[in-house]
Structure 1
């Protein structure tokens, strides 16, 4: 019986900004004999425009609901895919979304894989985000693909709005994004962390591992934020083995 993988893609991932571009090695190479793969763009990103992206305080919970509404058989939306259960893969902000979905919709989620994700923000995190706020200071290699997909104005505006959106969590107790939901995750969970991730320090993965009961933590010594692209063969193998166990 095939599992269904729901992959998340968001602008924060610093790549081309859609499921198709950010998860190319997974869409191409994960075993199609075992998996049905769905790549989803949250509202305001990739192919889910319109609407334009915005960042109210509950935007991660909104994305989680949108994702589940797309997938589940009981959804009232017109384009629901009618999967009664599925597994979720989430990168970066998509991982946060997946954590929330797995906690709130425990009856739907088989397994969970997240990488480059965090359940809270610190003052040091805020410094990292603000340091890359001005996209005009990015290298052309990093900036050009985003501008080609979104246009320079929408990309710059949305990126700055994301920085403001993620920084607003620092005003909450303990910088909370979704700390309180982690104990509610009961599905088998794999946390992958690149030890050289410049955007999400290692202590975030350790926190997830500590507070998600029974979770596994896999460290990739040379991995950075885009470890699933840079080391796609290794990443795919790790994920397949976990999902097929």
Structure 2
């Protein structure tokens, strides 16, 4: 296990652990008895997606565990696959990770794809998930969503700022092929009655904070409204200027919002 310190002198541990026969990479920060699992978005990892939370949300009262799902980040091999169950597969792998690390009860913070899997995890493990925070998530795939995904398929049309971190982490060949596979995988949910997690959304029993950026170009506002209406104990908080990565650009405000919610 590698130890390092962030700017707040917060100890951060990066390690790998065997989960379901795979070596899963995770990063842990903070030392509190209250624990939260951070679930990243598509092609994301603990460090690319949750650096600002590991640095400033984790504290003596709150421990954060951020992971790289199988096939993402440093949790390779295996190569990433997108079967019809990939959101559920990530949810179950995350639950097994927390069990292996010795955590029986924990909060879950899920961004984008990680938010979808977080909803499923909360529904499948109500005895474990105590509070849920999701942003940039979607319970189904509609026509507008599919149009947005297709518009992002060709990474040659991305800005250098957007694709450089992914190419640095994965290499261009793996990133290009895996991203195309993700577009196909997420689009397939459009033809499924349950969508991504409609049924599981209604089965979440823990208090839930749904966060949305009003300028999110990836997630139309109907999705956070859907979660608010169908998760029994949910509230919605909108960042008027927030985009898809609002937890990065508005890290201080986001971290305070989450900290206050988890402390209630």
* Band of TM-score, shorter chain: over 0.9
Q: Does 1:57 align with 2:84?
A: yes
CA RMSD of aligned residues (A): 1.0
* Residues 64-213 of structure 1 aligned to structure 2 (within 5 Å): 64-72=91-99, 80-173=100-193, 176-213=195-232
Q: Does 1:239 align with 2:261?
A: no
Please, which runs of 5 or more residues in structure 1 have no aligned partner? 73-79
| Structure with the higher fraction of residues in strand conformation | 2
Please state whether the residue corresponding to 1:42 is helix, strand or coil.
Answer: coil
In 2: Cα distance, 1:177 partner to 1:30 partner: 29
Count of aligned residue pairs for this structure pair = 233
| Structure with the higher fraction of residues in helix conformation | 1
Tell me, yes or no, if the aligned pair for 2:42 and 2:114 is still in contact at 8 Å: no
Q: Give how far 1:135 is off.
A: 0.5
Q: Give how far 1:33 is off.
A: 1.3
Partner in structure 1 of residue 25 of structure 2 = none
Partner in structure 1 of residue 36 of structure 2 = 5
Q: Give how far 1:107 is off.
A: 0.3
Post-superposition, which runs of at least 4 consecutive aligned residues in structure 1 deviate over 2 A? none
Tell me, yes or no, if the aligned pair for 1:10 and 1:45 is still in contact at 8 Å: no
Q: Give how far 1:151 is off.
A: 0.1
Partner in structure 2 of residue 75 of structure 1 = none
Residue deviations 1:198-225 (CA, integer Å, cap 9, x gap): 0011110000000001211001100000
Equivalent residue in structure 1 for 2:73, among 43, 46, 49: 46
In 2: Cα distance, 1:10 partner to 1:217 partner: 20
- Normalising by the residue count of structure 2, what TM-score does the alignment of the two structures yield? 0.86
